[in-house]
Amino acid sequence: MSAEEAAVHETTAAAPVLSLYREIDRADWARLASGIAQPLSETEIVQIRGLGDRLDMAEVAQVYVPLSRLLSLYAESTKRLGADESAFLGETDDTTPFIVGVAGSVAVGKSTIARLLRELTSRWPGTPRVELVTTDGFLYPNAELERRGLMERKGFPESYDRRALVSFLTEVKSGAPEVRAPFYSHMRYDIVPDAVVTVRRPDIVIVEGLNVLQPPPSPNDVAVSDLFDFSIYVDADASHIAQWYVDRFLALRRAAFSNPNSFFNVFAQLSDEEAVERALGFWNTINLPNLEENVLPTRHRANLVLQKAVDHKVETVLLRKL
């Protein structure tokens, strides 16, 4: 290698890796919460925690209190911008809800995070009305999934009524006084007829679901994420998520599955070995393909990525640069 080639090689090797995200390790992220009081009690955290999650006081204080503070900055800035725009147009300020999307794989803990953020954000001054909406309510009813041949693809993008979800969020974002969403029962594993979730002009709406960061199916369509003010992707190695999925399946078998009214009651009497085999079957044929084909490819669309380690603890935060 000539001296000139060596110099080019050295310059190239030393060039910084450019990224849309700031990568912040847990210790540095936790320091951002210095001086901020822990708003939740241990009992409240236990009530929020989902099956298999290891959420505790330290995790809330070091990861989610800083995240809550960051969200508050975004919400306050968005509200100010809305007021400035109204003043510029000579209109009365009529600020609409701040919408946060939470995406990620099955069993990665996004439902727990969404519930936790609802509790934290409702404690901010000026935002007492916080609603949580899951996209499960916008799955097609089982009868319709059966008609379309999609029961084995429940959770894939095509199993959701995307237009209904976009319409719902458009009404919310437009400031409608009352908007209703279908209600999904995990016990029944189906939409409950005539049951609804009603949202009445909240300050903040948190939307949690597998596919909320999906791009629109065509350039002329509106994406669900187009209606978000901030989005979060909960990330982890697929092998770790697979183990969490199996652990959760075993826990549900001992709890919810034992209810005779549960759709999954047929699994309650499985042995441990049979239950693990069945859970891995579901993971490998449904949830992993959906993660790899549809969910994971949307990670780069998020404003913030929470990267979890094998123990369910967040170890790195990626924050998109403005």
* pLDDT tens digits, 146-161: 999 999 999 999 999 9
CA distance 89 to 146: 50
Render pLDDT for 49-58 as a digit per residue (tens, 0 to 9). 887 788 999 9
Residue 86 forms part of a structural domain: yes
The alpha carbon dihedral of 213, 93, 115, 120 has a sign of positive
How many distinct structural domains can be found in the chain? 1
In a domain, residue 21? The reply is no
**Does a structural domain hold residue 41?**
yes
Count CA atoms within 13 Å of residue 318 on its CB side. 18
Q: Is the dihedral of CA 106, 108, 137, 279 positive or negative?
A: positive
What is residue 14's predicted lDDT score, i.e. its pLDDT?
A: 55
Considering the domain boundaries, does residue 14 fall inside one?
Answer: no
Give phi and psi for 181, each to the nearest 5: -125, 150
Residue at 95 is within a domain: no
Residue whose C-alpha is closest to residue 205's, from 228, 183, 182, 234: 228
Residue 155: CATH number of its domain = 3.40.50.300
**Residue 145, both tokens:** 């999934």
Q: What is the CA radius of gyration of the chain?
A: 22
Write out pLDDT tens, residues 206-265.
Answer: 999 999 999 998 989 999 999 999 999 999 999 999 999 999 888 887 776 667 777 777
Tens of pLDDT, residues 101-148: 999 999 999 999 999 999 999 998 878 899 999 999 999 999 999 999
> Tokens 């998520």 identify what position?
241
| Structure confidence by residue, pLDDT tens digits, 59-106 | 999 999 999 999 999 999 999 999 999 999 999 887 789 999 999 999
**pLDDT value for 51:** 73
**Residue-number span of the structural domain to which 159 is assigned:** 28-90+106-320
* % of the chain at pLDDT higher than 70: 94
What residues have CB less than 8 Å from 24, skipping those under 6 apart? 316, 317, 318, 319
Residue 96: inside a domain = no
Question: Quick one: pLDDT at residue 2?
Answer: 54
DSSP 186: T
**Tokens 């099955």 found at:** 106
The answer as to whether 82 is a domain residue is yes
Answer for the pair 59, 314: CB distance below 8 angstroms, yes or no: yes
Per-residue HEC secondary structure of 196-252 comes to EEEECCCCEEEEECCCCCCCCCCCCCCCHHHHCCEEEEEECCHHHHHHHHHHHHHHH
pLDDT of residue 111: 94
Residue 272 forms part of a structural domain? yes
Q: Is 80 left (phi over 0), alpha (psi -120 to 50) or beta?
A: alpha
pLDDT score for 13: 52
